[in-house]
Amino acid sequence: MPEQEPIAPPSLLRRLAALLYDTLLVIPLIGVTVALASAVEMWVLGVEEGVDYYQMNPHIVQLLSVCCVAVFFTLFWRKGGQTLGMQAWRIKLVDEQGQIPGTGRCLLRCAATLVSLLPAGLGYWWCLFDKQGRYWHDTLSGTRLQLLPKAKK
């Protein structure tokens, strides 16, 4: 596909739609990962078959969930600057030079997302006031989102 020139930062609604799309993909991934980890943990600990109830350590579940999300987004951003949700909504992640960000920058953006979420999601709403339409985690990681033009038919 030929490289397309960006036309503007994407709207907040477009960004949230892409995030919802990606969330629908990440949740089953987390479920499968936690189920596999639980099965491995039960095998390692020697939990007998037929046990009615087994609860995995919630801290491990949280860590696995965060890692799944970080790996999902980082792999897609490194591959082409877009997750599947971002592709559907014509959004692309780039660094300050307009290039696909490196792995470290992608991981930093994932970690910095927590900063955007903590004060009632204020870091997400910030894009409405930022001249370049950046979230807090974009500013912290040196990235930005671009709205790509519609592909010519």
Q: Look at residue 55 in the predicted model and tell me its pLDDT.
A: 76
Length of the chain in terms of residues written = 153
Q: Look at residue 65 in the predicted model and tell me its pLDDT.
A: 93
Per DSSP, the residues of 73-119 read HHHHHHHHS--HHHHHTTEEEEETTSSPPPHHHHHHHHHHHHHHHTT
3-state secondary structure of 144: strand
Give me the residue spans of the domains in the chain.
12-147
pLDDT tens digit string along 11-35? 999 999 999 999 999 999 999 999 9
pTM (2 d.p.): 0.85
Token couple for 134: 């950046």
Residues in the chain where the model's pLDDT stays below 50: 1
pLDDT tens digit string along 114-131? 889 988 889 999 999 998
